A and B are shown apart, each in its own frame.
Chain A
Amino acid sequence: QQQVKQSPQSLIVQKGGISIINCAYENTAFDYFPWYQQFPGKGPALLIAIRPDVSEKKEGRFTISFNKSAKQFSLHIMDSQPGDSATYFCAAKDKGVSNYQLIWGAGTKLIIKP
C-alpha cells in the first residue's frame, strides 16, 4: 500500500532522444509526487514535483505526466544530454504527512550515449 514502484531499473538513451521513467502507486491518499536526480557520490537533488490536481508540469526539458485514475506518474526528459546521466528517483507522500516522510522508488539509472 505504501510502495512506489519505479521502472525501468536502468535505461540507455541516445543523445537528443526522450528518456521516460515510470512510477506507479497504490495509496490514493498520496498528495505530492517529486522527482529527484542523484549523481554518483552525491546527494539527491529535487528536480521537479507535482500535486494530483494537475495532469502535467513542465520545467525546461523535464516534464512530469500524472494519471490519477491509473495511479501512475512519469518523468520525461526531452532532448536528453550526456549531462543528464544520473540516477532518478520518484517519490510520493501521504496527505497530511510532512515532506520529509517521502516514500521513495528504487531508482532508475539513466545513461545518455553521446
Chain B
Amino acid sequence: NAGVMQNPRHLVRRRGQEARLRCSPMKGHSHVYWYRQLPEEGLKFMVYLQKENIIDESGMPKERFSAEFPKEGPSILRIQQVVRGDSAAYFCASSQLPLTAYSNQPQHFGDGTRLSIL
C-alpha cells in the first residue's frame, strides 16, 4: 500500500537548467499539494491541483514555476532557468477529499525531493 511517491529524491542542477519534480499521490487520492521547505524553516504552500486543474496557485512564484496534474501520470512541478535560491526540499502531499477549512482528514506527505543548484 504505497504512500505518496516523489522522485527523484535528490536532484542537482546547474544555474539556468530546468528541474522537473514528480509526485504520484496515494492510490485513490485526486488532490495534490506542493510545498517548499528551506533549511531550518517550516513548509510553505505553493500550489494545489486536482486532476487536470489548478485549484490554488497563490503560493507559487509567477515566473519560472509551473505545475500540472494530468489525467494520467504523476503531478509535475517544473522550475525553469533555476537559480541558487531555488535550492530547497520540495514536498508533495495528497488527500482523498479536498482539504477545506473544517476538514479533519490529514494530508499525506511524500519524502520530498532535495533540489540543489550549483
Contacts and interface: CB of A to CB of B under 8 A. Distances in A.
A43 B40 contact: no
Interface in B95-117: 98-101, 103, 106-107, 109-112
A100 B42 contact: no
Given A42-B111, A43-B4, A98 B99 contact: yes
Contacts of A97: 101
B45 A100 contact: yes
Contacts, number: 63
B48 A89 contact: no
Given A96-B101, A99-B103, A106 B42 contact: yes
Contacts of B41: 104, 106-107
A48 B99 CA distance: 17
A54 interface: no
B107 A101 contact: no
A103 B42 CA distance: 8
A8 interface: no
B69 interface: no
Interface residues of A, number: 25
Interface in A79-105: 89, 91, 93, 95-105
A46 interface: yes
Given A43-B109, A43-B111, A96-B101, A107 B40 contact: yes
A46 B4 CA distance: 15
B99 A100 contact: yes
Q: Which 5 A-B pairs have the closest CB atoms?
A: A104-B42, A43-B109, A99-B99, A100-B99, A46-B106
Interface of A: 4, 9, 31, 41-46, 89, 91, 93, 95-107
Interface of B: 4, 33, 40-45, 48, 56, 59, 91, 93, 98-101, 103, 106-107, 109-112
